[in-house]
Amino acid sequence: MSADSAVPEVLTSFIDKVSASALPALSATAAFHARHQRMRRGAFAVALAAGALYYVRRQQQSANRKAMATAGGSVLAAGDQPLKVDRNQIKVAVDRRFFNQLKYIWAICVPNYRSKTILILILHTTFLVLRTYLSVVVARLDGRLVRDLVAADAKSFGKGLMYWFAVAVPATYTNSMIRYLQSKFGISLRTSLTNHVHDLYMENNTYYKAINLDNRIDGADQLITTDINRFCTALASLYSNLGKPVLDMIIFNYQLARSIGNSGMWGLGVNYIITATILRAATPAFGRLAAVEAKLEGDFRSAHSRLITNAEEIAFYHGAHLEHSILTRTYYRLIKHINKIYRIRIAYNMFEDFIIKYTWSAAGLLIASIPVFYPEMAGARSKREELRLAQAQATDGSTIVSQLDRKTGSRTQGFITNKRLMVSLADAGGRIMYSYKELSELAGYTYRVYNMLRVLEDLHDGRYVDANTGGESKYSLERINGVMDYTSNDIEFKNVPIVTPNGDTTLIRDLSFGVAPGEHLMITGPNGAGKTAILRTLAGLWPLFEGTVSRPPTGLDSTLYIPQRPYLAIGSLREQVIYPHSVAQMHAAGKTDADLAVILTKVYLEYIPGREGGWDAVKEWKDVFSGGEKQRMQLARLFYHHPKYAVLDEATSAVSTDVEALLYTTAKEEKITLITISHRPSLFKYHARLLRVGEGESGLDWEWEEIGTVGGGVGSASSTSINRLLSPSVESEIKRLETKVAEVQGLKVRLDKVNKELGLVLPSVDAKAKEDLKHAKRTLI
């Protein structure tokens, strides 16, 4: 255990032990007092406090149980579908773990003592000290003004008022600077943390892994956008809300000790300890409740973003009704939880106010009265002594009275100053107590942010937690033995099993094949056989459990993947063509808008800049282009980046076959080696190699062929092998056409026969007609 963590642990365990005995002790006291008639009222007050404490504890325990249920598994509200909220049980408390987590995050926010955050913190602290000092000055001034009022000293009173306004100027400036610096502190923390998270998230495909490979964090967008903000705001406000009262406590206690003496200070100390213990015991698990609330907020938000992303599909399906019920369900789940927190707060706030506002004020008044009633306890002279002294110094009766009046004035000043200090002290103590609630909530946000950071770091460095549920699997994310070699000119797989990322399902057994530049490859096979999975393994997105994959180094000019679902980025039309290049990179590459226009001509989209208002037009492109246009825009990127290998995953499925043929021809002419996943037989002729997956009885086998070469064995592609590639619908179409061709032959034979028969009949018909004509002529003559 580190020295840093030891203090909070000792403190919290002490408080826990004391609080565990607080409730029985209070009840026992109540019972004892109840037996004594004279102390009935005291017993009633104690019993009331014990009852309130018991109620708050009950509320807390029930909230904890429900929060654990929400955090740990399914929440089954009436009529709800089970919804998995979090796989890990959320365990949040203001304990050693929380302080260690906070320390870890702090080191990220403030990497060294020369950082800007430290400067803000120093300034903030300076203003906090200044405010406390000004509060003491105001307390003294207050006492002085009341003294002058009692003594009817107009001149001194007027002077005091002038001081009052003179203090108001720095006091108001200090207050607004504290608020400003608190916000700056929060923003500074958020900036450091967000930059760190973005670095982790966007490097080594961590964002992909967080969604596809590891299920430890859920709703990374919510965590990065909202939870980090909440954490930073809570930490900054806690520093201000805790730093100021702690300073106040030190300075005011010092000031008070001078006037109320040691016994008063002891009284104050005992008051703090008892009330803090009781409040600590009664504080519900706000941290855990805050963590669950943040999670449910995330669920609600992601339900909405899913609706935005898939608006068209949902509209076509008329799915609004179902989506509406999902939105309502996630919203009510959140609201139910928030309402629960509010309900818990009613009881807790009542109890907190009773202790802090009323008990503390009463204690403050009592202690402030010590120097008045018992001046000797505060180190001053007793009333009798003062009278004796006044008599000794007095020459006549009126002087005794004026001397005693002066003493009364100074006692009034002392009381008012002390009372003001006590009120400020009670306020400071109250704020420290209230801060415990904030501290608990901070523990909740800390838990979520810390958890996210650790998982992102793991994924960034390739450490995964095995999510394999079967336990029988040969592959595990904790044992990745494959070798990725990024130095080859060719693409080669050697004995590579294609396995789903959790290691549960083998899609293809021991895959081995190689492609050199110019050897265009087509991959085909049934749906779900693992065609795209091969590409994911090649791109390093899926873990390479075994075997070797050799490939050229990563880079847009080496291998470009064109996915099944077109992706259109935020930005101008120009940025759609050059994605993922920036405009600066485009200029650095020596490309101009004229070059882009030529590229659009190659994909038959030359009309787009004119239609959409030029290259600088910015639109929601996914809603602007048709399905085929989106795919052709993706192919434009191919001609822009001009990679050595282009991996096309059903990338032309929405493009008409004639345009598709032209696109393939152009790509080949530009010496781009194509690796195509497609079911379209019309694309065979553009490829030299063929990989068929989903073969064999198990569907885990594969076959490798060279299309169009003569001869058998590996690499042969007979017409039967090509026929085997065809989908059932294409095969039946061929059969239908062959039947038709066969029918045509039969029809031809029949036609010839008919013609022949007609040839025999027609001459005799002609002869008869001639005879009839001759006969008619003769008749007429």
Q: Which two tokens stand for residue 506?
A: 């083998």
Tracing tokens 């008639």 back to the chain, one arrives at: 37
Q: How far is the CB of 650 from ligand ATP (least distance, A)?
A: 6
Within 8 A by CB and 6+ apart from 575, the residues are: 569, 582, 583
Which amino acid would we find at residue 686? Y
Distance CA(506)–CA(473), nearest Å, equals 9
Q: How far is the CB of 502 from ligand ATP (least distance, A)?
A: 6
Tracing tokens 């040839």 back to the chain, one arrives at: 759
Q: How far is the CB of 498 from ligand ATP (least distance, A)?
A: 8
* Closest CB to ligand ATP among residues 258, 463: 463
Q: Which two tokens stand for residue 237?
A: 């406000």
* Closest CB to ligand ATP among residues 528, 614: 528
* Closest CB to ligand ATP among residues 161, 211: 211
End-to-end C-alpha distance for the chain, whole angstroms: 142
Report how far apart, in Å, the C-alpha atoms of 308 and of each of 211, 301, 314, 349, 770 are: 19, 11, 10, 40, 86
Tracing tokens 């009173």 back to the chain, one arrives at: 157
Q: How far is the CB of 292 from ligand ATP (least distance, A)?
A: 27
Q: How far is the CB of 564 from ligand ATP (least distance, A)?
A: 6
Pairing verdict, β 689-695 and 521-524: parallel
* Closest CB to ligand ATP among residues 94, 455: 455
693 contacts 530 by C-beta, under 8 angstroms: yes
Distance CA(597)–CA(678), nearest Å, equals 28
The most distant pair of C-alpha atoms in the chain lies apart, rounded to whole Å, by: 189
* Closest CB to ligand ATP among residues 206, 532: 532
> H helices within 396-554, ranges in order?
397-460, 531-538
Task: Print the SS3 string covering 252-287.
Answer: HHHHHHHHHHHHHHHHHHHHHHHHHHHHHHHCCCHH
CA 135 to chain centre: 42
Distance CA(212)–CA(369), nearest Å, equals 68
Q: How far is the CB of 21 from ligand ATP (least distance, A)?
A: 53
* Closest CB to ligand ATP among residues 260, 507: 507
Q: How far is the CB of 275 from ligand ATP (least distance, A)?
A: 54
> Using only C-alpha atoms, what is the Rg of the chain?
42
Q: How far is the CB of 528 from ligand ATP (least distance, A)?
A: 4
630 contacts 636 by C-beta, under 8 angstroms: no
* Closest CB to ligand ATP among residues 189, 499: 499
Q: How far is the CB of 534 from ligand ATP (least distance, A)?
A: 7
Distance CA(417)–CA(412), nearest Å, equals 8
* Closest CB to ligand ATP among residues 228, 521: 521
* Closest CB to ligand ATP among residues 383, 679: 679
- Residue 676's DSSP bridge partners are 522, 648
Q: How far is the CB of 500 from ligand ATP (least distance, A)?
A: 4
* Closest CB to ligand ATP among residues 268, 691: 691
Q: How far is the CB of 701 from ligand ATP (least distance, A)?
A: 14
* Closest CB to ligand ATP among residues 84, 357: 84
Tracing tokens 């504890």 back to the chain, one arrives at: 57
449 contacts 105 by C-beta, under 8 angstroms: yes
305 contacts 297 by C-beta, under 8 angstroms: no
Number of alpha carbons in the 13 Å side-chain half-sphere of residue 278:
25
Q: How far is the CB of 504 from ligand ATP (least distance, A)?
A: 7
Task: Find the helix packing angle between 397-460 and 360-368, rounded to 10°.
Answer: 140
Q: How far is the CB of 527 from ligand ATP (least distance, A)?
A: 4
Q: List residues near ligand ATP by CB under 6 A.
A: 212, 500-502, 507, 527-533
Helix (H, G, I), strand (E, B) or coil at 667: helix
* Closest CB to ligand ATP among residues 614, 627: 627
Number of alpha carbons in the 13 Å side-chain half-sphere of residue 12:
14
Q: How far is the CB of 471 from ligand ATP (least distance, A)?
A: 17
453 contacts 242 by C-beta, under 8 angstroms: no
Q: How far is the CB of 526 from ligand ATP (least distance, A)?
A: 7
Task: Print the SS3 string covering 130-196.
Answer: HHHHHHHHHHHHHHHHHHHHHCCCHHHHHHHHHHHHHHHHHHHHHHHHHHHHHHHHHHHHHHHHHHH
Element of type H or E holding 12: helix 3-34
* Closest CB to ligand ATP among residues 286, 464: 464
* Closest CB to ligand ATP among residues 53, 455: 455
Q: How far is the CB of 475 from ligand ATP (least distance, A)?
A: 12
* Closest CB to ligand ATP among residues 70, 532: 532
Q: What angle do CA 351, 435, 182 make, to 5 degrees?
A: 145
Question: Strand runs (DSSP E) across 57-141, as ranges?
Answer: none
* Closest CB to ligand ATP among residues 129, 541: 541
